[in-house]
A and B are shown apart, each in its own frame.
Chain A
Amino acid sequence: QVQLVESGGGVVQPGRSLRLSCAASGFTFSSYAMHWVRQAPGKGLEWVAVISYDGSNKYYADSVKGRFTISRDNSKNTLYLQMNSLRAEDTAVYYCARGPHATGTTYGDAFDIWGQGTMVTVSS
């Protein structure tokens, strides 16, 4: 079945780095844009970054620009989020989510499939 599974979360000190992974299965990963979305404890959803189906285009929220890098390995069906210079305010559950197909999709720009999330805690 169509599935996204995040990993790599944990507890990290401020200023350090962490890399998240999102393993995709059940669909043609290389044909879809992919997003990272985060949710701080007790708070709402915040979009973090998007990468095009082939990795040629990447966009970031202002809150993470210059510190986070989104990437993908289509040969491994895996999405990544490299997080550097982490701050306490980056503490959140991080979700990967599927975006639109490269040739357009019924769902428009919706996030139609989500992973279960991985928790990142930035604390000394």
Chain B
Amino acid sequence: SYELTQPPSVSVSPGQTARITCSGDALPKQYAYWYQQKPGQAPVLVIYKDSERPSGIPERFSGSSSGTTVTLTISGVQAEDEADYYCQSADSSGTVVFGGGTKLTVL
């Protein structure tokens, strides 16, 4: 079955830039989406269609795509950005797939 691969964890100091990657063979043909999930809360959409940001999401969140890898970048990380981040896309038949999630730790 199709998989999206994310690093289990990323750590950065406040004010630095965090980059979270997501790899999958179908990503060149399917959009990727990113969600932020804080403990005990539902996920929140932070990036759609690889690089678009929903209204209300801070400008420090951005997304990019290159080949089979998409990247969520958080510039000037703040303590409140500490959370789990999940990428989501679809396989060639359109079946929804989530990455395994990345825990972002703000040191």
Interface residues of A (CB under 8 A from B): 35, 37, 44-47, 50, 59, 61-62, 95, 106-112, 114-117
Docked CA distance A9–B60 (Å): 37
Interface residues of B (CB under 8 A from A): 1, 31, 33, 35, 37, 42-45, 48-49, 52, 54, 84, 86, 88, 90, 95-101
Total A-B contacts with CB atoms under 8 angstroms apart: 59
Quote the shortest CB–CB distance from A50 to chain B (angstroms).
7
The binding surface of chain A is classed by DSSP as: loop
Quote the shortest CB–CB distance from B40 to chain A (angstroms).
9
Q: Would you call A114 and B97 a contact (CB within 8 A)? A: no
Looking at A37, A50, A95, the one whose CB has the most chain B CB atoms below 10 A away is A37
The binding surface of chain B is classed by DSSP as: strand
A-B contacts, 25 listed (Cβ < 8 Å): A37-B98, A44-B101, A45-B37, A45-B98, A47-B95, A47-B96, A50-B96, A59-B95, A61-B95, A95-B42, A107-B48, A107-B52, A107-B54, A108-B49, A109-B31, A109-B33, A109-B96, A110-B48, A111-B43, A111-B88, A112-B45, A112-B48, A114-B43, A114-B44, A116-B42
